Structures are given as C-alpha cells and as structure tokens.
Structure 1
C-alpha cells in the first residue's frame, strides 16, 4: 500500500510577518515529496518514522472532535502494522516536511474531510487551515496550518491576513529567463520553535514592533504584490529592502556563516538573500536578476532553482 504523494512547499514571502498580519505567498515545490507506505520495510528510516507516527496518533486522539474526527481505529491498526511516512523532504529545512505528513494523514484518515475537488470557498480554506494548525502544532508548538494546506491542495496560496487566505495563480515561469528564485543549502538543520521564541521575545520591544510594521511588513506586502503582478524591477527593489531589514533585525535567524554572504549580495546586487521559513539553518532563499552571476558569486554552495523569471 502506498498513499498519494504530498509535496514540499516554499513560503516565498511572509515568514514571521504572517504571524503579525503581513501578506504571504506560499507555493508547492514538487522537487520533494512524501507518501504514507505500508510495505513491511524494516529500514532504519521506516522504523524511526513508524515510531514517530505512534506518538502522533496519541496526540491526534486529543484533538477536539468538534474540529475534526479521524478514523483512529484504522490509523492505529495501520501504524501498529508498520506504516511509515516515506519522504524525500529534508527535515528542519523550512520546506514543510511535517506539513506533508499532516496533509497525508488528513487525506487518508479524516472523516467528512474537505476535498481538493470541492469549490474551495474562503470558509473552507480557513476551516482546513484551522484543522491543519491544530494537527501540526504537535511538531512545532505553534503552527499557522499553512504548510499542510499548501501540501494538501498543491496550489499557490495567497495570505492576505490570518483569516483571509485564497488560492491564487502565479505568473508562468520563463523557462529561458535569466532571473531566478533559488534555494541555498546552509548545511545545517534549523529548529523552528527556538527561532519563533526569539521572535516573540523581540516582539516585546516597541522598537522591534515598529520596525516590523513600518519596514518588514511594508516590504513583504510589496514583494507579494510585485511577484503576483509580474513587476520584476519593483520586486527586486523591494526584495533588496527586505533582505536589508532581515540582516539588520533578524540576525539570530541567519546562520553565522551567511552574514558576510548576505551583505555581499546587497553590496554587489548579484543576488539578495532572505529567510526560508523560520531560519536558523535549513534552506535560505535567494533572488537574482542574473542566475549565472549569482552562481558564480555563490560557487561554494549548492543551489537549486525554484522559479525562473
């Protein structure tokens, strides 16, 4: 038995800001995926994943049944018989490894589930997001529910505010385009919870709150609008500003070995870097108007193109 595939996601814009009402744009990233499997595998990964699922089943049993009900009997039986989540999505990299698992479990075991084939009204999207936030908080302590939502629907999602989200279309990629959005592997794993903790501590300071509103959210919103409308020149201007704000105010979330590289991009305009997810490790997102130039400047690192302009 092998369940359907669920893909990783990339939050192009909106990390941290969406906690405080900024816009956000999340897109599926089909390079990585995961599926529930029951094939009797005794590999180390399968055994570890199965043990993790046992703990997760116990957690799902505590979720308010008014919100969502699962066929816990079938789920428990499948887990006891060795079911595991076979995934190529790297954990702790900001591309939604737990989101894909949550989507797979909901898809297979939720009763009266909202399906992808329905007319997805704002109410249905919000209902799904609320369910997924509850399901995913087992992994992060606090979840927005967006990663599983993206993985479950496999379509780009525009976040206007926490209670106003919609499925959206993004401009078609220019396959031969010079510009690109790319991922850099930082070579280390990022833990979401401690990063969010730092952010919440900073939020207690008035100066940080003002910076978030006047700079971070302003540029994030502009980036989302520019990207969706295909205003590339303006997008890069705003991404540069956003990159600068992150370097100045979100230093703990940027792995130390990238501080110089981050600044170099801003100085040369060869590329601009931003956080991918909560930071602290995992992937870093890069934006460039000339991918060849960026490749040259970042030749010591492994890059993966996500989108071409």
Structure 2
C-alpha cells in the first residue's frame, strides 16, 4: 500500500497567540512530506514509526468522543502487516511532523470523513480542527489541531479566533529580493515543555498584558500586511514582533541565537521569529534582501520559503 502525500506546514504568524485566541496564519510547506506505507520486514526508522503508530492506535481505541470514529480493525490489521509513516519532515523542528501523520491516519481510517473536495463551511473546518486537536494531543499533551488541518487541506489557513477559521488566499510569490526563510538551529525542540513554560508565564499579569497589547497587536498587523501584499509595512511590523519575542520569549529561543536575533534587529538585515513552539528546530526569518541575509548568516543553513 501507499497512502497520499501530506505536507509539512509553517505557522507564519501566531505561535502561542493562537492558544490564547488571537490571530494566526499557517501555510503548507511542500519541501517536506510524508505518506503511509507498509512493508513485510521492518527495521530502523520504519520499525520505530510502526511502534509509535501502535501506541497511537491504542490511544485512539481509548478516545471517548462523538466527534469522530475510526475503522480500528482495519488500522490494527495494517499495523500487523507493517504499517509505518514514511516521512521527510524533521521531527521537533516546528514544521508539523506529527500534524502530517495525524492527517494521514484520519484520511485512511476515519469513518464518515470530511473530504477536501467538499464545500468546506466554517462548521466543517471547526469540526475537523476539533477532531485533529483530539488526535494530535497524543503527541503534544495539548494541540490546537491546526497543524493536521493545514496538512490535510494543503491550503493556507487564517485563524481569526478559536471559533473562526477560514482558507486564506495569499499573494503569489514574486521574483523580488525579499524573502521568508527557515534558519536551522541544529537543535531539536520539544513542544510540550515549551507550552508548559508559556502556560506558567501566563500566570503573570504583566506577561498577559504584553501578549494582548503588544504580541497579538503586532501579529495581527503582520498577518494583515502579508495577506494584502503590503511588503514595506510588513517588515516594520515584523521588526516590532521580533523585538517583543526576544524580550518576552527568551526561554523558547536557543541561547546561542540570542545574539544573532539581536543583530538582525539592530542592522535591519533580517528579522527572526519563532517557528512553532521554539526551543530548537527551525527559526523563521524575514528579510528585504535575501542575498545580504545569507552572507550575514553564512554559518547557518537557510531554506527559502517564500519570495517577495
């Protein structure tokens, strides 16, 4: 067997904010992908994946919900026949490795599944997000369900609030000098501990005030600029967001990147922000001159995501 491909995702804007009901914008990232496969003799990564899927199967068996049901007997049989998730999506890098896996399991085994070809009303999108949130909680302890939703639909998604999400049309790429890029921290980040740090910080009134008045404000402005193609204004707002993140989310930024982050803000050669929950993995970069940013960040591996 070979299942359909499910792609990685990048949350361009809204990390942490979407937990607290502010805006977010996620886009598919087709450089990395995964698909369900089966093999008689499993070894290495395939065997590890099969073992993980067995645990996931047991989790789904115990799931008490009216939102979704699965063909668990088929899932079990496939697991016994060597089912695994063959993926190039790096784990712990903030680009949705578990999201793509969840999307593939829903696609293959969910009963009465909502398909991509349907007229995707807001209610259907919210139902899918709710299902994916339940499923992906197995991996992260708490999940918004957004990563699997993005991977499943393979569409840019605009999160206005927890109860208001919609597919978004993003401006087509230009052959300009500006770019969005990924910077490889060469460290694996884990979502759960980072979310725990965030939840602890939320107990602090000053942090909550900052999140509502600065972080969410700049995030919303960035999303609006990006969707409207207001590039000049976008970079001004990304710079403000980068400053706020550096000042308030230091535990989520690997220590060795604090200086690199600061240099971008001071020189205006690039601006960095978290990609997913942080703590390692990829860091997201924005620059008005990608060639210049590459020279400044020559010690790091960069991947181009989007051109302005």
The TM-score bracket by the shorter chain reads over 0.9
- In structure 1, C-alpha distance between the alignment counterparts of 2:64 and 2:235, rounded to whole Å: 44
Mean alpha-carbon deviation: is it higher for 283-292 or for 65-74? 65-74
> How big is each residue's C-alpha offset from its partner over 1:241-287, in whole Å with a ceiling of 9 and x where there is no partner?
00000000000000001000000000000000000000000000000
Distance 1:3 1:270 in 2: 42
The 8 Å contact of residues 190 and 279 in structure 2, kept in 1 or not, is answered as yes
Which position in structure 1 is the counterpart of 2:136? 136
Within 5 Å, which residues of 2 pair with 1:48-63?
48-63=48-63
Aligned to 1:292: 291
Structure 2 residues not aligned, in runs of 5+: none
Matching residue of 1:43: 43
Alpha-carbon separation, structure 2, partners of 1:242 and 1:294: 18
Measure, in 2, the Cα distance between the counterparts of 1:240 and 1:250: 15
What SS class does the counterpart of residue 279 from structure 2 fall into? coil
SS in 2 for 1:159: strand
Which position in structure 2 is the counterpart of 1:76?
76
- How many residues are matched? 308
Question: How far apart, CA to CA, are the structure 2 residues paired with 1:272 and 1:166?
Answer: 28
* Separation in structure 2 between the aligned mates of residue 207 and residue 11 of structure 1, nearest angstrom: 25
Corresponding residue for residue 156 of structure 2: 156
Note the C-alpha offset of 1:62.
1.5
Higher mean displacement: 34-43 or 191-200 = 34-43
Q: Separation in 1 of the partners of 2:211 and 2:136?
A: 26
Alpha-carbon separation, structure 2, partners of 1:52 and 1:44: 13
The answer to whether the aligner puts 1:301 opposite 2:305 as a matched pair is no
Instruction: Give 2:262's aligned residue.
Output: 263
The SS at the match of 1:92 is coil
State the Cα deviation string for residues 199-239 of structure 1 (Å, max 9, x = none): 00010011000000110000000000000000001100000
Distance 2:40 2:238 in 1: 47
CA distance in 1, matches of 2:148, 2:41: 26
Structure 2 CA distance, aligned partners of 1:40 and 1:262?
47
How many Å apart are 1:42 and its aligned residue?
2.4
The corresponding residue for 2:279 is 280
How many angstroms does 1:177 deviate by? 1.0
Q: Deviations over 1:12-42 (max 9, x none)?
A: 0000011112110000000000000013352
- TM-score, length-scaled by structure 1: 0.99
- Separation (CA, whole Å) in 1 of partners of 2:289 and 2:275: 20
1:7 to 2:17 alignment: no
Matched with 1:227 is: 226
Aligned-pair CA distance for 1:43: 2.9
After TM superposition, give the deviation of residue 65 of structure 1 in Å.
4.2
Counterparts of 1:301 and 1:74 in 2: how far apart (Å)? 45
Residue 100 (structure 2) pairs with residue 100 (structure 1): yes
The alignment's TM-score, normalised by the length of structure 2, stands at 0.99
Does 2:114 correspond to 1:111? no
CA distance in 2, matches of 1:64, 1:122: 24
